[in-house]
Amino acid sequence: MRGGRYALRAGEFLVSRACRRLPAAIRQERYQEWLAELPVILRDRDTGPAPWRVVRMLAFAADTLRGTALAADAYRGAHRGAAAKSTAAKSIRWLGTGLLLLAGLLGCALVLLAYEGAIIYQLTVGPNLAFSVTLVLVNLGFIAVGRSRRWASPGRRWYPVSKIVAGAGLSIRAMAGPAGWGHPLLFAIISYCVYAISVVCLAMAVVQAVRYLSRLRHPGQGPGQQPGRATS
């Protein structure tokens, strides 16, 4: 089959993505197992004509992705506690997704209202407020979405939390300045703190981008290495 090889590669890619969600101890084993099924599906003449077999093979590979995303606990030796825990994690992730959507809608609405002049403050305050409120919601969303994975360790949680603090500070400043709340010095201090946090966040973002790029150049050294290249 002419396109079979490319389809097989696409299938292998999907399976490797699926296996990245699995615990390291079983990742390689599952990768080998699923990879071995792909050519069998392509050769299975009972399934139908060649294009249909390609579709079937890709569907198999894509569905492993769904399986590892939704039932990762099953591969870790499922028991009731783990299942309940994973349900809670899923709910929090959905909450995070909701927050992200809300942040997007709110951000768009506030920016539109500000530029239409419908917002009560001056033209510059609306976008500031929109930006800062969106910043808070987006980072809350990110924490909730990735709670069970990337931000699980407290050491990694400081980054979005500091952005939330920065966003909250900016929100207060954006609202308080024109409304004449509190002492100006207080808001000046808040502003400086927010700027300091923003600079640190920006520096950390640069460091993370550099680390990510170096990991791309030297695959197999980070935790997200491809299962096919893993050594046991």
Among 10, 55, 65, 165, binds another protein (CB under 8 A): 65
Q: Is 16 in the site for another protein (CB under 8 A)?
A: no
d(CA 62, CA 10): 10
Q: Is 122 in the site for another protein (CB under 8 A)?
A: no
Q: Is 74 in the site for another protein (CB under 8 A)?
A: yes
Q: Is 230 in the site for another protein (CB under 8 A)?
A: no
Distances (CA, A) of 4 to 11, 40, 55, 56, 133: 10, 12, 10, 12, 50
Helices 184-217 & 154-179 angle (0-180, nearest 10): 140
Among 27, 75, 141, 142, binds another protein (CB under 8 A): 75
Q: Which two tokens stand for residue 61?
A: 């590979």
d(CA 69, CA 72): 6
Q: Is 151 in the site for another protein (CB under 8 A)?
A: no
String of DSSP letters for 65-87: HHHHHH-HHHHTT--HHHHHHHH
Q: Is 4 in the site for another protein (CB under 8 A)?
A: no
Q: Is 33 in the site for another protein (CB under 8 A)?
A: yes
- Do the Cβ atoms of 150 and 156 come closer than 8 Å? yes
Q: Is 71 in the site for another protein (CB under 8 A)?
A: yes
d(CA 220, CA 32): 17
- Do the Cβ atoms of 92 and 146 come closer than 8 Å? no
Among 2, 45, 49, 77, binds another protein (CB under 8 A): 77
Q: Residue 76 Cβ, how far from another protein at the closest point, in Å? A: 8
* Span of 68-76, 132-140, 162-170, 222-230 interacting with another protein by CB under 8 A: 68-76
Binding residues vs another protein (CB under 8 A) = 30, 32-37, 39-41, 44, 46, 59-61, 63-68, 70-71, 74-75, 77-79
